[in-house]
Amino acid sequence: MTGLGVISPNGLGKEQFWNALQNGSSGVDEITSFDTEEFSTKIAGEVLDFEATDFFSKKEARRMDRFVQFASAASQMAVDDAALEITDELKNSVGVSIGSGIGGLQTLEESHKKLMEKGPKRVSPLFIPMMIANMASGKVSIDLGAKGPNLTLVTACATAAHAIGESLRILQRGECDVMITGGSEATVTPLAIAGFGSMKALSTRNDDPQKASRPFDKNRDGFVMGEGAGVLVLETLDHAIKRNAPIYAEVAGFGMTGDAYHMTAPCPDSTGAIACMEEAIQDAGISKTEIQYINAHGTSTEYNDRLETLAIKEVFQEHAENLLVSSTKSMTGHLLGAAGGVESVATLLSMTNNYVHPTINLETHDPKCDLDYVPNEGRHAELDTTLVNNFGFGGTNASLIFKSLKD
């Protein structure tokens, strides 16, 4: 990885984001984008300081759903961070894979309302291209002139991690030299909050928003919706060295499995998550004891937190006691399809700074969640090898292993 871009509820750009993570600063607050009077959940991790016109013209911004704006802005950040110039000579060897779990839901809701109130002729001709999930990859490709592989994965909350892993495979197959990859999501909308609320998946700790996302805490009551984007620039090592690029780490391993169990619930014996981590470790060709830190899926839901803990203990056995584990979602909320991108950025910044950010709001330990979750205060630690977990509805699992490149 040679470049990082991030739009999150607790920071725009890697510097703001990292400062917030170090300080344990939450981006969760009362929802401002719509009236929540009739909703049981009134809180979310909104991106409040994002101005689309800082990145695009007014006309251009109006032609993009919010999730595409996030993706394009984060991609610009990542490419700038990588000092990557996409020349005519390079453009055919630069690909884009930016996923979204849901796509342009805001556009869909607004267009449906217009259809119902004013009729079909008032639906914008831009409705379809603004809504469909592959428009994030498409817009980034157009903006950057990247003519290599262009694809979008949709695997719920594992989307961005799968996009990064599949981008690794594209590079390994020699199909291009550079992939711009990650995930973007903008689902702090009435329909999304209503839908997840009806499933009883969301926290209703409305009186104390910044305490609502509390992974691994005994008193957690559901996840908090977040929005944003996390994008990485991946390059082959030869290409990065040839242009003297800054290198954060390598994507050393990738695993993906399916639970084959339930549409929304994780498998109760954690076999899917276990197999996923095992596959990533095998793919990386490392021993389990080399891993020092896990950026957990850590959603703040009862079953996910317990079953991810169970899976980690089963995979790592006695080494699980030595692992540092933390959840970025404690500060950002759950960014659904963007989660793996934002959490990969967090992990790479942790490796760069040799510092593990805390899991905030961990006040009362769940007896079944008994690992070292770095509660409430971050910790200095030299990090050479890390693992990122993301698991999604439909029983889809992804694990990534990042490894520092030593001189």
Q: DSSP assignment of 88-142, as one string?
A: TTTGGGEEEEEE-SS-SHHHHHHHHHHHHHH-GGGS-TTHHHHHSTTHHHHHHHH
List the chain residues with pLDDT less than 50: none
Nearest to residue 320, comparing CAs of 334, 330, 310? 310
So what's the pLDDT on residue 349?
A: 98
Domains observed in the chain:
3-242 (3.40.47.10), 250-403 (3.40.47.10)
**How far apart (Å, rounded) are the C-alpha atoms in residues 350 and 30?**
29
Is 241:250 a contact under the CB 8 Å cutoff? Answer: no
Is 41:193 a contact under the CB 8 Å cutoff? Answer: yes
So what's the pLDDT on residue 407?
A: 53
pTM above 0.95, yes or no: yes
Nearest to residue 41, comparing CAs of 303, 224, 227? 224
So what's the pLDDT on residue 79?
A: 98
Q: Describe the strand order of the beta sheet including 3-8 as a list of residue ranges.
A: 11-12, 3-8, 228-235, 178-185, 94-99, 150-151
Is 376:358 a contact under the CB 8 Å cutoff? Answer: yes
The catalytic site residues sit at 157
Is 86:144 a contact under the CB 8 Å cutoff? Answer: yes
DSSP summary character for residue 337: G
